[in-house]
Amino acid sequence: MMELYILIGAFFFIALIYSSVGFGGGSSYLALMAQPFFSLMPDTIRPTALLCNVVVVTGGTIIFYRQGKLLWKDIWPFIVMSVPMAFVGGFWKLQDDTFFIILGFTLLVVSILLWIQQDEKTVSVRFDSTASQLVVGVASAFFRGW
């Protein structure tokens, strides 16, 4: 029972921190639930992390939209393609070992990339065309759904 309280508290903390900067926290939910302490299986971990991520991102999107920080014409391609692909990726059956290897490798790569400092000369990537926004929405959501 104590594990459940720890998990709920950690979920709340992750949602609070990530939503404050406009993110959902999907990788953190995955990393948290993958800990042996909770004894959760991938069939539980993936849809739970996906649901938490969708709820937090949806709430943040609504708040940013109401504040005028998002324009529908800019975000609709991401929403239209990312939501269905997140569910496809979330329900795609992988072997347990494969799931944990991909999860561990992805989290390791992301943590390394976060440490790399960008200088002021770095060019940021922009997705101005609708086609590029649709592709990014598909790819990011599909792989996030895993």
Contacts of 105 (CB under 8 A, 6+ apart): none
Q: Which two tokens stand for residue 35?
A: 């800990």
| Cβ–Cβ under 8 Å, residues 146 and 99 | yes
pLDDT (0 to 100) of residue 123: 47
Q: Model pTM?
A: 0.59
> Position of tokens 């799931």?
99
> Position of tokens 């400092």?
117
| Cβ–Cβ under 8 Å, residues 96 and 42 | yes
pLDDT (0 to 100) of residue 6: 92
> Position of tokens 């290897």?
101
pLDDT by residue for the chain (146 residues), tens only, comes to 888 899 999 999 999 888 887 788 888 888 899 888 888 888 888 788 888 888 888 888 888 889 998 888 888 887 788 778 777 776 777 787 887 888 788 778 877 876 776 655 554 556 667 777 667 666 666 555 54
- Domains in the chain: boundaries: 2-115+126-145
| Cβ–Cβ under 8 Å, residues 73 and 81 | no
- The CB density around residue 63, as the number of other CB atoms within 10 Å, is 13
Contacts of 50 (CB under 8 A, 6+ apart): 26, 86, 87, 90, 144, 145
Q: Report the C-alpha gap between 3 and 34 in whole angstroms.
A: 13
**Quick one: which of 18, 11, 6 has its CA closest to 59?**
18
